[in-house]
Amino acid sequence: SKSNSDIKSSSDIKPENDIKPDSDTWPVWATEPVLIVPYDPSWPAKAAQYKEDLIKSLSSLGIHNIEHIGSTAVPGLAAKPIIDLAVLIPSFDPIDEIARLLQPLDWHYVPLELDGRPERRFFVKVENDKRSAHLHFLLPNSPVWKEKLRFRDYLINNPSAREQYTQLKMNLSQQHSQDREAYTAAKTEFITGSIRPRIIFATNNAHKVEEIQAAIGARLEIITLRQAGIDIDIPEPHDTLEANATEKSMTIHRLTGTNCFSEDTGLEVPSLGGEPGVKSARYAGEDRAFEKNIEKLLNKLAAISPASAQPASTPSASLTDSTRSARFRTVISLIWNGQEHFFEGICNGHILPAPTGEGGFGYDPVFVPEGETRSFAQMSMEEKNLYSHRRKAADQLVTFLQSQTSN
């Protein structure tokens, strides 16, 4: 094994993610096991000293934005005793000059072909045959920079998450004590879930959340009012979907000051003057029982079109009865950075004479979208999303959010 004094050439250094414990030609620190130790109050001071030395050495290149990242930057968090620092630089072009300037400080450059991570340039500092610090050079538009800072701050501000992460690392360090790459990869799900931006959906309806989350995908995490710690019943007193959606989103925004959205959806039957409309959820009473809502709807349609009201009628037969034409309409009100944005989705179709299917919720058992012979309640979530009013509105919401969160 090579001693610390022997490690002067970048060719001596193997990347952290490629280290294999059976190598007998690499330096001692390159094959050291994963070791998690209790939080050391001296870590912030060490990071500050490293930063000071780095700024002095790199000031001629205009480099000054250095952040203490990783677990050692989180007070109270157990960690590998290695200080991680992130440095923001406008370009990787001067990396050879940076390596020359940092060599007297015993920072060892890991060439890109060995590191294998093109989003960064990587240095390792070694003391007493052990890694003492890592240095990550990142570009201003790098999502890695934002993610590392976001995760650090998330752990600092969330004691319960800090405890969960500590326990996870302790368990993984025992499972992968000789494999740093496996240890790091096993933490990815927790980290990704923690730093994924969240947005409050002003509902506690699990079915609505499932549909919207399916449309949005993994870019944002949708959380309910209950998950956001909000326990209020927001009234829907208005006579339009737009006004009710605004009522809910504005209420949550006033309470939290954060980005949020709400939706209001109505089933609109022209032959009934647009009923149930904004009263869709309370059509048969305030108890919001959809079995009763459906029963009232079918009874009212039967009263104006008795011939098509027989349970034996087929879906195709009801297509010829214009009195049973209907549409679902969803309006989303998004409060983003203090500004309100509306998105609308419409699904045209018709009402069946009797409920059909076991899936879905609300009026799904009696609604057949245009181009189909099955009710929403007979479809899988994926099939329903091909037609869904809520999905159409959510797609517009997603397009907007992607434009706002792409950088």
Count of CB atoms within 10 A of residue 215's CB?
20
- What is d(CA 54, CA 83) in angstroms, rounded to the nearest whole number? 13
Sorted by sequence, the CB contacts under 8 Å of residue 252 that are 6+ apart come out as 200, 202, 225, 228, 230, 234, 260, 262, 335
The answer to whether residues 321 and 382 touch, using CB atoms and an 8 Å cutoff, is: no
Identify the residue whose tokens are 């209907």.
326
The answer to whether residues 121 and 139 touch, using CB atoms and an 8 Å cutoff, is: no
- What is d(CA 260, CA 281) in angstroms, rounded to the nearest whole number? 22
- What is d(CA 269, CA 264) in angstroms, rounded to the nearest whole number? 16
Q: Which residues are annotated as catalytic?
A: 264
**SS3 assignment, position 236:** coil
Identify the residue whose tokens are 């970048």.
10
The encoded tokens of residue 110 equal 């890991």
Q: Which residues pair with 87 in a beta bridge?
A: 66, 137
Task: Using alpha carbons, list the distances in angstroms from residue 348 to 105, 252, 270.
Answer: 69, 31, 11
The answer to whether residues 326 and 267 touch, using CB atoms and an 8 Å cutoff, is: yes
Rg of the chain over Cα atoms, rounded to whole angstroms, equals 29
For 324, counting Cβ atoms within 10 Å of its Cβ (0-12 exposed, 13-18 middle, 19+ buried), the class is: buried
DSSP tag of 37: B
The answer to whether residues 211 and 234 touch, using CB atoms and an 8 Å cutoff, is: no
